[in-house]
A and B are shown apart, each in its own frame.
Chain A
């Protein structure tokens, strides 16, 4: 296998979709009445809810009565020092985001159709679902008071904002007519289990000095978390360099303390194991797990397809997921009052029992799998603080019980909020629907309950890994559709917006040919009742 250099550091792609913000001047204290200005037929209002969360409203002169309430995704609640790839230089912000990423095209298109948009920056960053729901409820009231022509509120949000949106739909159907949780987070326990597994895997295989959780209180804990970020990205960087130097048998990072016999297994296989055991997908922004550089011998091509490409996908996705894992773990431990990740009873062999056959070559065969699992089995496990876990369980979760139309949409290769999050909510709704149908039958009602949940998927293409003329993977090209976190196009967002408007007016989702036409025109949006994404590992997936 030839050596190659990736054209760009993989870790630099990590946070691009998470932290795009709208920069506006915002109030810092609660305002009973928003401060509004009108220009170019659009009234823009700024203010803050009673929790001091700043908000922004944009209302066109021809306002048709429907407003889109956007909930932004996870923003770290601590500053990230410069120098850390992807996140370096981030400072905590609660800038309001009235539309996905503050995208001017999306805002312009909605305003142009007579819709209003609004969004809060939320008072607290990090995992803020409980407070954000309250903020949104208040914000809806403020908007309706300010714009009395309002008839419908539709909610949408990305990632953690998707979580908030779903919860809002479940808890406040009286306020929201339709909702679209996008690339949503759900089930905080299993989600943080995924994060914890990934971090613990990196720590166990590559650098045992990574703390991976159970951070101290206060500044010391912050320093530990930031230290972990540096270590995680150092590991990622080492692996990237090692694969670049020798893709077939990349060296282990110098910080690794696994036994020498285990180091006979290529380090890339351990990386793939980390992805599989935690549930991180093996299709990433630039690596499809199917392609090989053109022109290389057939046997090398097969090896690249089966073993190297999946490792590079794991590298890219784990880089994306691990940073958020550190930041979210630190944040939630502070909220819960102790360690929340516990793998004392986790059987990692069972976790990968089926997938080990699929990714056998990438895992270096049976002996490789056996060796890697032996390390996982023998390594000290992380133990959670029961009180902290109990407190975490009191935070808002999803029941799936929703009466208003909802539209779920995510990429099947999202490495942060994996597709299993969306599947979880779809499964819960299916169970709820079955309950209702059973109750109907018991009551002698032969009419099936309406199915008000529309589940859409964004599948990556079959092949999308690009190679330079020299045969090296090219990571400078845009992330493939269906990959990366919340990687949606403007057209997809606007299709969702149109479908939300339809649902709000009609009390049901778009269906039939009209739906399929809408999806086809937007591109890379699939409605397939027969598809079910892999469940989160913490839920038995």
Chain B
């Protein structure tokens, strides 16, 4: 009787194994949305047209160029990456619609580099990324509110937060411009809140403080900013806004012969974009800016050199900070996909980011903060000075990296050495 039962069990187990092997041979290797045996579909929303698009509209093409380079070199575990770009015109409502399109119609595996604080907040609230378990890698926004793993468990930031940036600028102001009259022009939203809060916490008081509402930037409004700054005799002016606001500010100031020491936030200081918006690059001469990456013209930098080569062959765009950033997003995405292994799943990608993300190679000088409890990307800046061509060099001649967090942590000078660029710019991590 016992033996008989055992026989039955053996027979049953064999049948299950046989069925299992049958399934293994007949089912596709990957049933994850957006992933096939030879492709991975990714999506990004960003402003490709409209007033907010200058500069940002280069990021997607740069990422795509990098992916094409990787695809031509074997892809990721044999899979070629397809990037679908959607133009949200910087409108949050449109970001929702476009992200829904990426998820429901295009059926992407993950979002990479979605751009804009209001935009991603809207998407997160309305699209249900968390509920759907869709990874959102490398958010193109510095809003510190996204650095909340509980609220954004499937999302990962890439840029140092605006709060980190302001804390570092505050430290720099104290070290280099003590006693000067200070001015601040800032975007009057979460972008500015982050900065303003950090400046206040750091004890920096501005003699002239000018908020502007996103979308109202123009030559006319810049005229009022410059008038207020000049009337307040601001000697050092910190600007926390987008490039489409930097442009009229600098142009109007130059016209009015108002020449304070400019400290331009990392978001709005790309020289080529300013030039495209009609601002003579020479007005940037001497302006200071917190920078995370090396200059896009620094061919001594192994990352820049490699990315420029890829850009020349696959993108043919003028190489600037946005292209550099896009290429780097591509590099990091490929490392994340590789870290998730050949059996690619959304859950696996998120786990890989948590477990291995902090070790990824990246063009930026500062450490990456990813872990099981943190979705924070880069954590620091160095201060750079811009020349007459808009090119930037480290302030003081060498990179002095400051790192910090978005909270009450101190600003510290760091000796962190970033990982080397993978050979030929092709990651082989696992």
Contact = CB atoms under 8 A, between A and B. Distances in A.
B98 interface: yes
A40 interface: no
B188 A358 contact: no
Given A365-B188, A534-B126, A299 B121 contact: no
A301 interface: yes
Contacts of B216: 248, 303
A357 B214 contact: no
B218 interface: yes
B218 A530 contact: no
A361 B93 CA distance: 13
B128 A361 contact: no
Interface centre among A288, A354, A528, A530 (most CB of B within 10 A): A530
B128 A301 contact: no
B407 interface: no
B131 interface: yes
Interface string A415-431: 00000000000000000
A290 B122 contact: no
Given A301-B50, A306-B215, A365-B188, A358 B91 contact: no
A532 interface: yes
Secondary structure at the B interface, as helix, strand, loop or mixed, is helix
A488 interface: no
Contact of B51 (A298, A310, A355): A298
B128 A532 contact: yes
Interface stretch (B14-22, B189-197, B342-350, B378-386): B189-197
Given A357-B145, A528-B104, A368 B126 contact: no
Contact of A462 (B90, B97, B118): B97
Contacts of B91: 289-290, 305-306
A226 interface: no
A45 interface: no
A302 B188 contact: no
A215 interface: no
Most chain B CB within 10 A, of A248, A302, A303, A367, is at A302
Contact of B118 (A357, A368, A532): A357
Interface in B118-153: 118, 121-122, 125-128, 131-132, 143, 145
A307 interface: yes
Contact of A357 (B51, B97, B117, B211): B117
A98 B373 CA distance: 58
A310 B215 CA distance: 13
Interface in A291-307: 298-299, 301-303, 305-307
B94 interface: yes
A248 B220 CA distance: 14
A534 B128 CA distance: 10
A332 B98 CA distance: 41
A485 to B, nearest CB: 20
A110 B214 CA distance: 53
B125 A307 contact: no
B73 to A, nearest CB: 35
B92 A307 contact: no
B217 interface: yes
A462 B125 contact: no
A147 interface: no
Nearest to A530: B132
A302 B90 contact: yes
B52 interface: yes
Contacts of B132: 530
Contacts of B131: 530, 532
Interface in A265-292: 282-283, 288-290
Interface in B54-108: 89-94, 97-98, 100, 103-104
Nearest to B104: A528
Which of B51, B92, B127 has most A Cβ within 10 Å? B92
A526 B104 CA distance: 10
B200 interface: no
Contacts of A462: 94, 97-98
B273 interface: no
B218 A299 contact: yes
Nearest to B143: A357
Nearest to B188: A365
B213 A361 contact: yes
Contacts, number: 109
Interface in B203-236: 211-218
Interface in A339-385: 354-355, 357-361, 364-368
Interface in B16-60: 50-52
B244 A299 contact: yes
Nearest to A289: B93
Contact of A358 (B122, B193, B217): B122
Contacts of B93: 282-283, 288-290, 310
A367 B213 CA distance: 9
Contacts of A368: 188, 213
A76 B240 CA distance: 52
A227 to B, nearest CB: 36
A361 B104 contact: no
Nearest to B212: A365
Contacts of A532: 128, 131
Nearest to B118: A358
A437 B398 CA distance: 64
Contacts of A364: 188, 213
Nearest to A365: B188
Nearest to B126: A534
B214 A365 contact: yes
Contacts of B94: 290, 305, 462-463
Looking at B126, B187, B189, B213, the one whose CB has the most chain A CB atoms below 10 A away is B213
B211 A306 contact: no
Interface string A146-178: 000000000000000000000000000000000
Contacts of B50: 298, 301-302, 305
B52 A357 contact: no
Given A282-B93, A283-B93, A307-B213, A365 B189 contact: yes
A248 B218 CA distance: 14
Contacts of A359: 92, 118
A413 B143 CA distance: 28
Contacts of B212: 365
A367 B126 CA distance: 25
B92 A299 contact: no
Contacts of B52: 302
B221 to A, nearest CB: 9
Contacts of A365: 187-189, 192, 211-214
Contacts of B128: 530-532
Given A299-B217, A305-B89, A306-B91, A367 B125 contact: no
A384 to B, nearest CB: 29
A288 B216 CA distance: 20
Contacts of A528: 104
B119 to A, nearest CB: 8
A289 B91 CA distance: 8
Interface in B329-356: none
Contacts of B98: 462
Interface of A: 248, 282-283, 288-290, 298-299, 301-303, 305-307, 310, 354-355, 357-361, 364-368, 459, 462-463, 526, 528, 530-532, 534
Given A305-B90, A366-B190, 16 more contacts: A298-B50, A302-B90, A303-B215, A305-B50, A307-B215, A310-B93, A357-B118, A358-B122, A359-B92, A360-B214, A365-B192, A365-B211, A365-B214, A367-B211, A368-B213, A530-B103
CB-based closest 9 A-B pairs: A365-B188, A360-B189, A298-B51, A302-B51, A303-B215, A462-B97, A365-B213, A289-B93, A530-B132
27 contacts: A289-B92, A290-B93, A301-B50, A302-B50, A305-B94, A306-B90, A307-B215, A310-B93, A354-B121, A354-B125, A357-B121, A357-B143, A358-B92, A360-B118, A360-B189, A360-B214, A361-B189, A365-B187, A365-B212, A365-B213, A366-B190, A459-B100, A462-B94, A462-B97, A530-B128, A530-B131, A531-B128
